[in-house]
Structure formats: structure tokens, C-alpha cells
Amino acid sequence: MGYLLYAVTIIFAFLGIYILFKTKEVCEKAKTMPLWLSLCWWILDAGWTGLVVLSTIYGLWRISINGVFQQLIGSIVFLIGCAFTLAGMIEFRSLRKISGLETSKLITTGIYRWSRNPQFLGFYLTLLGISLFNLSGYALLLTVVAIAFCHYYIVKIEEPYLEKSLAKNTLSTSLKLRDILLLKP
């Protein structure tokens, strides 16, 4: 099973790079993300999460520590991550906004008062919790890659796009309020 997961990881890594470059092209033109590209992001996120889950289930590169303690910590981190993700999605109030298909205004209410990207933070914590639950070294590696990939997307693509497409005073004011809980560009 390990070799199959490694092969699928490589496929998803190349898919991720392709999606990232296509997203960068769209954002550099200050256009709204097309539906097909948004669907690709959803597939990539679901697939990468699936890889982390399967790596944990099959114990790829297992790290041995006290089983009960690691499962408790993993479960807590997972639940906190799910709460952040859900809170961020609820605050958007629209699947179109969550998917990047609509960027009419910057959200600064609810959880967005404290975190610039609670959905990404939740995604990171969810993957980390899954990885910690069974202490799969491979799942931890996939989590680190996902965090680096998403951070690059946020800093190099999403932030400049938001600066172009939204009023600069709205963006700079809100960024000052929400520069905590996530890596700052």
C-alpha cells in the first residue's frame, strides 16, 4: 500500500503545482477564479487530506510514542482544526466565496477578527491532528508540505490579488486587526 500512496502523492503534487500556476495567472489578471479551477482546488484539498488519512491508517513511517497520549493530543488538535475551518466557512456565508468564485469584500467579522485565514489554519490543524493520532511520519511530512504550499499561495498569490481587487484601505485596516494565529507575510 505504501508504494501506491507514494505514487498518488506524486500525482497530487504535480496537480497542485499546476493548479497553483493557473491560479497565479488568474490572480495576476485580477480576475475571479473560474469554476473549473475552484473545483480543482477542492479535489486537491480532499485528495491531500485523503493521503494524510490513509498514511495514518496504514502507519507509514510510524513513530512510536505513548499511544493513548498521542491519540488524545491528535484528537484535540483535529477537533480544534475542524472548529476553525467550520467557523471560517460559516462566516463566509456562501460556497461561492469559500471557493474563491466571488471576492466582493474582505470579511472582518466573526473569527476573521482574530485570524486572517481561519480556514487555512483549521486545515493545517486538522491535518496535524490526523497525523498525530497514529503518529505517521509520512502523514506529518504531507502536512508540512501542505502548510508550505498553502502559505506560498496565501503570501504570493492571494494577498497581492486581494490588494488589487479590494479597496486598499479596507485590506490594510483588516490586516492590522488579524495578523495573529497564522504566518504573516
Residues 145-166 have a mean pLDDT of 81
- Picking from 134, 127, 119, 139, the residue whose alpha carbon sits closest to that of residue 77 is 127
Q: How many residues are given for the chain? A: 185
pLDDT score of 33: 84
- Picking from 82, 88, 89, the residue whose alpha carbon sits closest to that of residue 128 is 82
Structural domain contains residue 81: yes
Residues 132-154 have a mean pLDDT of 90
The CATH number of the domain where 100 resides is what? 1.20.120
DSSP secondary structure letter of residue 59? T
pLDDT, averaged across the chain: 82
Structural domain contains residue 185: no
Report the alpha-carbon distance of residue 9 to residue 47 in Å, rounded: 9
Residues 149-155 have a mean pLDDT of 83
- What is the count of structural domains for the chain? 1
Owning domain of residue 12: 2-177
pLDDT score of 79: 97
- Bigger pLDDT: 73 vs 100: 73
Structural domain contains residue 184: no
Q: What percent of the chain has pLDDT over 90?
A: 42
**Quick count: other Cβ atoms within 10 Å of Cβ 45?**
16
The grid coordinates listed for 150 are: 498553502
Report the alpha-carbon distance of residue 120 to residue 124 in Å, rounded: 6
pLDDT digits (tens, 9 = 90+) for 8-64: 999 999 999 999 999 989 888 878 888 899 899 999 999 999 999 999 999 888 887
Residues 149-175 have a mean pLDDT of 69
Cβ neighbours for 104, distance < 8 A, ≥ 6 positions apart: 97
Structural domain contains residue 183: no
pTM of the model: 0.78
- Picking from 20, 43, 44, 17, the residue whose alpha carbon sits closest to that of residue 33 is 20
